[in-house]
Structure 1
Amino acid sequence: MTKPRVLVSDKLSETAVQIFSDRGIDVDFKPDLGKDKDALLAAIGDYDGLAIRSATKVTEKLIGAADRLKVIGRAGIGVDNVDIPAASRRGIIVMNTPFGNSITTAEHAISLMLAVARQIPAADTSTRAGKWEKSKFMGTEITGKRLGVIGCGNIGSIVATRAIGLKMHVLAFDPFLSDERARDLGVEKVELDELFTRSDFITLHTPLTDKTRNIIDAGAIAKMRDGVRIINCARGGLVSEADLAEALKSGKVAGAGIDVFETEPATENPLFDIPNVVCTPHLGASTAEAQENVALQVAEQMSDYLLRGAVSNAINMPSITAEEAPVLKPFVKLAEVLGSFVGQVAESAILEVEILYDGMTANLNTKALTSATLAGLIRPQVADVNMVSAPIMVKERGVIVSEVKRDKSGVFDGYIKLTVKSANQTRSVAGTVFADGKPRFIQIKGINLDAEIGRNMVYTTNNDAPGIIGILGTTFGSNGVNIANFQLGRNRPGGDAIALLYVDDPVPEHVLNKVREFPEILSAKPLVFDV
């Protein structure tokens, strides 16, 4: 049997490289190859595995040349440098190490907060220049101050506990943070606007998604207290750099600590020339301990897969055995879609999740299906999540998850029903897989329907009344939106009704706003599914 070959194209620890060798894998350690696109492209065809950090860019072109490649392992959490759809189409597993650098990143956020509060970098430069400007660098204490934490998952919760140890009062905003989990952490759970208005310091620990992009912009800053200080060690793009620069110049924001930037490497930036800003070159995970942890973890994961077929921390593949894969795979996709539906329409913190497995689905690997459901549920808020990490992330937020299994109870051989309870409402959605292997919605809000699932969809709620089809069809048609499929449902004549539209392309927001102007339409939400 030919030994698997792994290429390490970024700087990983030598101990991690040795793990591959010790496990019986041929490994080539070429830590600078990832910076040379042409050389990497020429070499990639000889390898079964590719171990990387952030320097190597795994593009569609590179994947196209990777004839043997079976697995890509990213030492770290972020996979922005990997074309995951291209890898998935080629059957290449993409793994990451989501929890190896949490403490390091949290400590860096605390360090930046202290550095900003006391202007340490500028004071250091001044002192080295022999100026001795004590009055110029008057700082502020953090004891007794309010720290607003946006995103209270793995890293955010560590920051919160460290800040509480420093005698700060912590306000936390996280759509998935339960009251019980907030009490356990010792934080005060608040809505985002309240966090803005009350915080003396604000730190971000949320992924970059469509919902979180520019979560701090001019509008958000206007709501904040005068003299607030902002820390970002999470992702570039969460903060509008131009708006932050203006607020710093005006004095509205007293200081900022920024470790991540919209464009990296950041050689030019509007924040660089502003004195009350501490900037670092994406050092959140840069400690010897964190680098070693994620490197060792990715080496073990890749070795396990190449030698035994075991899959862990995969971004684009569930943890299932080869024997159950043919039957389970379409139901895994269904579970992800059901979770994603609720995750995209949810408007408040999720408290409880119940997943009902009816009929033949109760005899499947429901652990994998539940993980897939939870991954779909929180992915709209937590981009870097997979079937392995999703249950952990949900548990950290104090969400109660339960499974119910029962014998066949309806016309379908088997189906999955997801019920999610949040602070102010309960949502439910059910689906099944037909003979063609494609998932379908069969019930939403207790209303029966039969809806094909497409990549771009629109979900509306309305009172059952004449003219709804005309409103939607005419508004979309007059604005160039083509409807591929249209399904309606209602609970009773004149009662609650829903519509689910499968459209060719994403519907522009201004078109959805026109739909929402009709008094018959109670809500209209865009949906995107990975199908």
Structure 2
Amino acid sequence: MQDKPKVLVSDKLSETAVQIFRDRGIDVDFEPGLGKDKDRLLEVIGQYDGLAIRSATKVTDKILAAAGKLKVIGRAGIGVDNVDIPAASKKGVIVMNTPFGNSITTAEHAIAMMFAVARQIPEASASTHAGKWEKSRFMGVELTAKTLGVVGAGNIGGIVCDRARALKMKVIAYDPFLSEERAAKMGVTKVELDELWERSDFITFHVPLTDKTKNILSRENIAKLKPGVRIVNCARGGLVDEEALAEALKDGRVAGAAFDVFAVEPATDSPLFNLDNVVVTPHLGAATTEAQENVAFQVAEQMSDYLLTGAVSNALNMPSVTAEEAKVMGPWLKLAAHLGAFVGQLTDEPVRAINVLYDGQVAKMNTAALNASVIAGIMKAANPDVNMVSAPVIAKDRGIDISTTTQDKTGAFDAYIKLTVVTDKRERSIAGTVFSDGKPRFIQIKGINIDAEVGAHMVYTTNEDVPGIIGALGNTMGANGVNIANFTLGRSTKGQDAIALLYVDEPVPDVAIKALKDKGLFQQVRPLQFDVE
């Protein structure tokens, strides 16, 4: 008789959620303080098939190396900064999270913080507790009829928009994936960032922290803000230049701020602390009984499903396909992700539609999983937390039209995938196939036939077909110490549109990209990154 799966819960988790494991026939050890004891965790982890955690347990490569039986890690919550996902993937351990369990709670906290800063509630409460009656000191403002700028209109941001509209606020939103149609359904006005800075009476952030969003409210952008604006951040620390904001709060350009997250946490010191017009809380966005119960229940159910039936959901490092499918589809899933990543890194405007054409033998595979891989590839450029499970949900929420076409073999290849992405400004297409060695290849970009191996670091250029392009690319890369592993060129017809795709050994420095742009030969120069592991 096969042994029951065994799970360790090493952080604080609801007792009711722990009972879910037991009710499903799984042995569970509930030791909520163990995650903080790295040495003890290292000693015992080898006994378990599953590990359920929150944020206290740090799952390092050292822990994973000792986890001889471990099959799945379940994070009750969305953030997985405390898990070494690449190491888990190499070890064959699935990492799951619960991306939507605390959305309402976080959105409600943002609304609460907006009220708090608008009416100076914490300061007024402290004053009244001190026996003072300073009624004239705490003159607030109404939310009704004010303009709320929402940066990030995804799951949480969308809920904030809905609540704000119920408060009779005028809602404007910036989100690179928000279409005009989806914005209209949400009852919000889609704007660019500069317009949002200039028009908003209140601004709230609901985006992940990435290279693109770090200090999105910079010193430069703070100067563009409408006088008297109030800033709310319950998303991620580092989205706002805290020092520059503190200066603006002190001189009155910004009327107030409410922050639940900080650039450095735990935050024991911040430029925003001890300012009368600032409300601060210790990262309480997900801190409600309901949210904690929801994410705990979800992670227990997901881990149980996988350990007992092999079903995979909300996995960050594995597609939702059966074991049999994975053997055949693995290289095609990787190709689908590469095609999406290519377009995602080139697209700066909202995506309206995604069409995926499957030709030949790939048309008979699990196209839903392949579509999910494509969509996740596109969206990861703006949101690294997106995975194959959450990406289709996000795309649907944002009104992106997803269409799939399948057809029998029509060309020189036994099978290929062609991706076409439509925005308000343009249509982009790229096609690829998998060779007999299992390696994905790009075979067509912008209708131009090529044969390009996919590497971790690449450079894509477009230009008119004129002499000197190869020399300009080679000389610039060489002058900046970048070694070219593979060089692919293509053109539509002589003297017309041409493209180049370079596979290089290391990331291309910004100075090299600038040097290429300054030559005046190229219409477009883009460094690209691909996950080829």
TM-score (norm 1): 0.99
Q: Structure 1 CA distance, aligned partners of 2:274 and 2:505?
A: 46
Query: Structure 2 counterpart of 1:486, which letter?
Result: F
Q: More deviation in 141-150 or 56-65?
A: 56-65
Q: Name the counterpart of 2:12.
A: 11
Alignment of 1:207-356 (within 5 A): 207-356=208-357
Alignment of 1:456-475 (within 5 A): 456-475=457-476
Q: Deviations over 1:142-184 (max 9, x none)?
A: 1111000011111111100100000100001111111111111
**1:282 shift after superposition:** 1.0
The alignment-based identity, stated in percent, is 67
Q: Name the counterpart of 1:29.
A: 30
Q: Structure 2 CA distance, aligned partners of 1:282 and 1:352?
A: 36
Q: Structure 2 CA distance, aligned partners of 1:496 and 1:449?
A: 13
Query: Structure 2 counterpart of 1:111, which letter?
Result: A
Q: Name the counterpart of 2:129.
A: 128
Q: Name the counterpart of 1:85.
A: 86
Query: Structure 1 counterpart of 2:425, which letter?
Result: N
**1:436 shift after superposition:** 1.1
Alignment of 1:89-488 (within 5 A): 89-488=90-489
Tell me the secondary structure at the aligned position of residue 355 of structure 1.
strand
Query: Structure 2 counterpart of 1:262, which letter?
Result: A
Q: Structure 1 CA distance, aligned partners of 2:261 and 2:43?
A: 32
Q: Deviations over 1:11-42 (max 9, x none)?
A: 11001100111111111111111112222222
Q: Structure 1 CA distance, aligned partners of 2:123 and 2:87?
A: 45
Query: Structure 2 counterpart of 1:26, which letter?
Result: D
Query: Structure 1 counterpart of 2:377, which letter?
Result: G
**1:348 shift after superposition:** 0.6
Tell me the secondary structure at the aligned position of residue 352 of structure 2.
strand
Q: How many residues align?
A: 531
Q: Structure 1 CA distance, aligned partners of 2:507 and 2:255?
A: 40
Query: Structure 2 counterpart of 1:318, which letter?
Result: P
Ranges in structure 1 where 5+ consecutive residues have no aligned partner: none
Query: Structure 1 counterpart of 2:153, which letter?
Result: C
Q: More deviation in 388-397 or 473-482?
A: 473-482
Q: Do the aligned partners of 1:173 and 1:190 also contact (CA within 8 Å) in 2?
A: yes
**1:190 shift after superposition:** 0.6
Q: Structure 2 CA distance, aligned partners of 1:511 and 1:497?
A: 20
Query: Structure 1 counterpart of 2:391, which letter?
Result: A
**1:242 shift after superposition:** 2.1
Query: Structure 2 counterpart of 1:285, which letter?
Result: A
Q: Structure 1 CA distance, aligned partners of 2:252 and 2:510?
A: 34
TM-score (norm 2): 0.98
**1:243 shift after superposition:** 2.1
Q: Structure 2 CA distance, aligned partners of 1:514 and 1:227?
A: 42
Q: Structure 1 CA distance, aligned partners of 2:377 and 2:404?
A: 16
**1:276 shift after superposition:** 1.4
Query: Structure 2 counterpart of 1:150, which letter?
Result: V
Q: Name the counterpart of 1:61.
A: 62
Q: Structure 2 CA distance, aligned partners of 1:42 and 1:263?
A: 31
**1:274 shift after superposition:** 2.1
Q: Deviations over 1:385-431 (max 9, x none)?
A: 11111111000000000000011111110010000000101100111
Q: Structure 2 CA distance, aligned partners of 1:127 and 1:507?
A: 59
Q: Deviations over 1:175-199 (max 9, x none)?
A: 1111111111100011111111111
Q: Structure 2 CA distance, aligned partners of 1:302 and 1:283?
A: 26
Tell me the secondary structure at the aligned position of residue 51 of structure 2.
strand
**1:506 shift after superposition:** 1.2
**1:135 shift after superposition:** 2.4
**1:484 shift after superposition:** 1.3
Q: Structure 2 CA distance, aligned partners of 1:325 and 1:459?
A: 31
Tell me the secondary structure at the aligned position of residue 127 of structure 2.
helix
Q: Structure 2 CA distance, aligned partners of 1:64 and 1:213?
A: 33
Q: Structure 2 CA distance, aligned partners of 1:506 and 1:274?
A: 42
**1:383 shift after superposition:** 1.9
CA RMSD of aligned residues (A): 1.0
Q: Structure 1 CA distance, aligned partners of 2:9 and 2:96?
A: 14
Q: Structure 2 CA distance, aligned partners of 1:145 and 1:331?
A: 49
Q: More deviation in 60-69 or 280-289?
A: 60-69
Q: Structure 2 CA distance, aligned partners of 1:481 and 1:227?
A: 48
Q: Structure 1 CA distance, aligned partners of 2:75 and 2:394?
A: 19
Q: Structure 2 CA distance, aligned partners of 1:360 and 1:250?
A: 65
Query: Structure 2 counterpart of 1:329, which letter?
Result: G
Q: Do the aligned partners of 1:442 and 1:449 also contact (CA within 8 Å) in 2?
A: yes
Q: Do the aligned partners of 1:8 and 1:31 also contact (CA within 8 Å) in 2?
A: yes
Tell me the secondary structure at the aligned position of residue 137 of structure 1.
coil
Query: Structure 1 counterpart of 2:180, which letter?
Result: D
Tell me the secondary structure at the aligned position of residue 289 of structure 1.
helix
Q: More deviation in 123-132 or 301-310?
A: 123-132
Alignment of 1:491-530 (within 5 A): 491-530=492-531
Q: Structure 2 CA distance, aligned partners of 1:506 and 1:249?
A: 41
Q: Structure 2 CA distance, aligned partners of 1:462 and 1:330?
A: 31
Q: Do the aligned partners of 1:19 and 1:296 also contact (CA within 8 Å) in 2?
A: yes
Q: Structure 2 CA distance, aligned partners of 1:275 and 1:442?
A: 60
Q: Structure 2 CA distance, aligned partners of 1:487 and 1:30?
A: 55
Query: Structure 1 counterpart of 2:395, which letter?
Result: V
Q: Structure 1 CA distance, aligned partners of 2:251 and 2:335?
A: 51
Ranges in structure 2 where 5+ consecutive residues have no aligned partner: none
Q: Structure 2 CA distance, aligned partners of 1:469 and 1:507?
A: 17
Q: Structure 2 CA distance, aligned partners of 1:151 and 1:354?
A: 24
Q: Deviations over 1:328-362 (max 9, x none)?
A: 01100110111111111102110010000011110
Q: Do the aligned partners of 1:357 and 1:414 also contact (CA within 8 Å) in 2?
A: yes
Tell me the secondary structure at the aligned position of residue 223 of structure 2.
helix
**Change over 3 Å in CA distance of 1:243–1:65 after alignment to 2:** farther
**Change over 3 Å in CA distance of 1:510–1:247 after alignment to 2:** farther
Q: Name the counterpart of 1:72.
A: 73
Q: More deviation in 514-523 or 158-167?
A: 514-523
Tell me the secondary structure at the aligned position of residue 137 of structure 2.
helix
Q: Do the aligned partners of 1:209 and 1:380 also contact (CA within 8 Å) in 2?
A: no
Q: Structure 2 CA distance, aligned partners of 1:213 and 1:129?
A: 39
Q: Structure 2 CA distance, aligned partners of 1:309 and 1:194?
A: 48
**1:509 shift after superposition:** 1.5
Q: Do the aligned partners of 1:116 and 1:276 also contact (CA within 8 Å) in 2?
A: yes
Q: Deviations over 1:31-65 (max 9, x none)?
A: 11111222222221111111111111112222122
**1:272 shift after superposition:** 1.4
Query: Structure 2 counterpart of 1:160, which letter?
Result: C
Q: Structure 2 CA distance, aligned partners of 1:193 and 1:350?
A: 20
**1:215 shift after superposition:** 1.0
Q: More deviation in 59-68 or 365-374?
A: 59-68
* Structure 1 runs of 4+ with >3 Å offset: none
Q: More deviation in 244-253 or 407-416?
A: 244-253
Tell me the secondary structure at the aligned position of residue 256 of structure 2.
strand
